[in-house]
Structure 1
Amino acid sequence: MSAVDSASPATAPRAGASPRSLGRSPAAISVGSVLVAGLLWEFLGRQFPATASYPSAVGAALIEITVGDGALVSALADTLRGMAAGFLVASVLGVAIGFAMGRIPVVAGLVEPYINAIYATPRIALIPLLVLWFGIGFQLRVTVAVLTAIFPIILNTYVGASSVDGGLMDAGRSLNANSLQLLRTVVMPASLPFVVTGLRIGGFRALVGVIVAEMTASITGTGQLLLTYGRFLQIPHLIAAILSLGVIGVVFTQLMGAAERAAMPWARQRRA
């Protein structure tokens, strides 16, 4: 058998395709699809400018409401301040309550009925009552953000803390680890994927909750700005504001991914 005959078929490169070009193809396809969608939107939007607008008009509107009058910047600042404060409070309380429920059955039995009842209640139905209690300012935004974000955090943390592998707990006890040491070295690391998932969901829900509160209670902010643009048929401005919220969502996702990689380096090594 010759050297050519003994070569493995898997090692033979395909004609016209290098490994480098194949590695770039997914990104190229994504960029190409975005460009095609943008061109199609530009063409169709110019046919129906009163309802669909088009990218060039949206870009001009975005410059106007950010660099020009700064309406979007001011509105986003109000929204994000309330969302961030509420998300921080919800994160601390939600993780603490979730761990307590997951590791202490008595706490789970006492708290779970109330959590299920409040979680099943649409938060938007509580906004009129919250307006009476907290007014229509910063405190309302924070309260709504807490109420919308805390339950996914509690429930995901609870699931993670209550489903820790019993073998890991037994191994820790065999090394004479006390309850606090088991919590720090076994329960928390094993629960981190669930906690991160809860934080990610809670963050998005906090943002949505604050925007809905701004729309419902007529608070100055991004929600009210969206209603104003829609009411006066300022479609390019409306789409520009919506796209800005999408960008914020992408940035939040990337930040949560970076936090997850920093908190769980072993998961990244396992995937590698």
Structure 2
Amino acid sequence: MTSQPSRRGEPEPPDPLPIGVVDNHTHLDISREGAPVNLDDLEPVLRAAAAVGVDRVVQVGCDPVGNDFAVAAAARYPSVLAGVAVHPNEAPPLAARGELEDALAQVERLAAHPRVRVVGETGLDHFRTGPQGHAVQEESFRRHIEIAERAGRALQIHDRDAHEDVLRVLAEEGAPPRTVMHCFSGGPAMARECVRRGYHLSFSGTVTFKNAKELRDSLAVTPLELVLVETDAPYLTPHPWRGAANSPMLVPLTVRVMASVLGVAVPTLCEALSANAERLYGPW
């Protein structure tokens, strides 16, 4: 089935992938329309994704409520693993209310859960949080690195307009052996530095955008053994459905563009994406 471009229509299922892959980072608890999402709502979303070859997902929490949801989803659905964290943009307001320490304590407690395989998304965001919040973000980031190390979990990094500072903190703290740059947004020079350090680079639907040549250049210098794919749903919907709500079902659109950029067959990339995720997070 061929998807037709639309900004308002409901996305159609893309052609299935030949080998199952993992959506490395998704937020199935968030609705772009603001409607509440419960655990039952995930079943048709996961079924639609599996029908096109996206048979596993990492559900990522960003705050105490989202963390509890992620763990509950992973406990209920065998195709779901969880990530838990305080998102960088959540750290300053939590700190202002005197709630950051309790939130970090929750992250550490939940990181021990057998279905939680990721600490994150953590990191730095200099786009939505101004200079007054940078110190709190950085302290929260450092604490997450410590938690990931103690728990033996992979670390997923949020980096928006903060490339140099993210790399600096990771170097100063010592990145965990399994570190992922979620929704990679840097240029080829940063990609090469991340590769040199052994970080995994996860690419979202933005890599399919017509104006994303620099991002595709970054993908091109990333070896297969360090590549991941994600939705960051419900955001960053791939072409030709940009503007609609994203979901794991649309990962094949991103995978096919990635295969073209990397110059490999789609089955070859699918095998690598699956193996990389299992190596990072263990079996589902």
Task: Please say whether Structure 1 and Structure 2 have the same fold, judged by a TM-score greater than 0.5.
Answer: no
TM band (smaller chain): under 0.3
More strand by share: 2
TM-score, structure 1 as length reference: 0.23
- State the structure with more CA Rg: 1
TM-score, structure 2 as length reference: 0.22
